[in-house]
Amino acid sequence: MLAGPNPGVEAATHSQPAWVVLAYLIAGVCFILALRRLSSPETSRRGNRLGMVGMAIAVVITLAVHDIASLLEISVAIAIGAVIGLTTARRIQMTAMPQLVAAFHSLVGLAAVLVGAAAFLNPDAFGILGDEGIHTVSRVEMALGVAIGAITFSGSVIAFLKLNGNMSGAPILLPGRHVLNIATLAGILGLVAYFTLDQSPWVFWTVTALSFVIGFLLIIPIGGADMPVVVSMLNSYSGWAAAAMGFTLGNSAMIITGALVGSSGAILSYIMCRAMNRSFISVIAGGFGGDAAASGGAAVINRPYRRGSAEDAAFLMKQAEQVIIVPGYGMAVAQAQHVLREMGDLLKKEGVRVKYAIHPVAGRMPGHMNVLLAEANVPYDEVFELEDINSEFAQTDVAFVIGANDVTNPAAKTDKSSPIFGMPILDVEKARTVLFVKRSMGGAGYAGVDNELFYRDNTMMLLADAKKMVEEIVKALA
């Protein structure tokens, strides 16, 4: 990424040859088409390839038209990054994908901070230096880019630590956190405005430091149940940080790419919030869900339940006409997706219709369950979203729930005091029989409330590690 001779998109565009602008436009079109194809599992591979092509075009053109460093230095940097990326991609487990995404977001944010710092320390090299110092517009772009990038970095680090188990997934509630957050954000905005008048180093570095702090403060109050929204929100932040740096660098490709990532992440965050009955504004403010989780953490019902075995489950599903499988985070933790697909294949050989029902916020990132099922080669036409399959549960013989707790809890529809009240859920309780795989009856879901579905007359609890239980069911079916 390299700066044009003048700040701003218009000046940078006029200073570039027409073929460069056209190449960046083609790269932007590739990114747009990639996002379109990534919206469906069936076309996601093509979407990834289009995104790679667009990024390759943008990188090659940038290197061709800007004298940023020697070819040897650039080649070494690309080689190091490629080795790290390939090694990570080959070694990472699909169940660890949420924390990997959070880690990637942190790198994008840190890159924005480093680029902004470089531009501040050497503005002449970036073409943003005027007679009275850094151009005023460039100061605003630079400060906002650094602020958003720092928030993205520190927030993503906390999200990674929570998802990876290095930090408790429970909300960490600081006293007076809302006042502290508002005061810190107000301080950042005030200093950004002051930076347009005074480009003293202390102003720039104070904005950077406060932004790192607010990213930390915004994410630590958020519990594990809300992580899918957090991941999509941080994705949006990383895009806006890149777009802001694109203005500072006068690079239209960065502006287009950042705007696409930022807007698509914001839209996804809004969709996820609706799926969880959360307020989008409270997501941005941070700490949403924290009070509810804290108040509902001990709500465990002590009632009798019906317990079954793998043989019972195999018999019921073999006699069924249709079985709907509902995967959740418990499946991801147990890495049971492959044996689950094997169970589905055996049921289909017995003439049973098998479908998979996915809740929008199941797992720890948007599309987490879709990714795991795709890894296990579950046919795309058997996987359905909540709104497409919810009406079928009433006509289904068996609903097989594997590790999905909060997204199947009827309390979301009946208990106004529940922290998940109002959240759309999968109507598994309407099935003739519900088979619920859970490690034990001792723990509540990530929202901190017990699932009353466990104690319904049509529910049979299968208490064991998810992978081990499904393996036993597969043996019984075979």
CA distances from 244 to 29, 239, 240 (A): 20, 9, 6
What φ, ψ does residue 437 adopt, rounded to 5°?
-90, 125
The CA distance from 50 to 69, in Å, is 28
Alpha-helix residue ranges (DSSP H) falling in 92-176: 97-121, 136-163
Taking the alpha carbons at both ends of the chain, their separation in whole angstroms is 57
- Name beta bridge partners: 435: 400, 460
Q: Residue 363, SS3?
A: coil
Annotated active-site residue in 226, 406, 427, 450 = 406
164 and 98 Cβ atoms separated by less than 8 Å: no
Q: Is 406 a catalytic residue?
A: yes
Given its phi and psi angles, is residue 289 left (phi above 0), alpha (psi -120 to 50 degrees) or beta? Answer: left
The CA distance from 460 to 437, in Å, is 9
Exposed/middle/buried for residue 161 (C-beta within 10 Å: 0-12, 13-18, 19+): middle
The CA distance from 413 to 474, in Å, is 34
The CA distance from 93 to 262, in Å, is 27
> What is the CB neighbour count within 10 angstroms for residue 200?
11
Q: What is the DSSP string of 337-348?
A: HHHHHHHHHHHH
391 and 428 Cβ atoms separated by less than 8 Å: no
The CA distance from 152 to 39, in Å, is 24
345 contacts: CB under 8 Å, gap ≥ 6: none
| Active site residues per annotation | 406
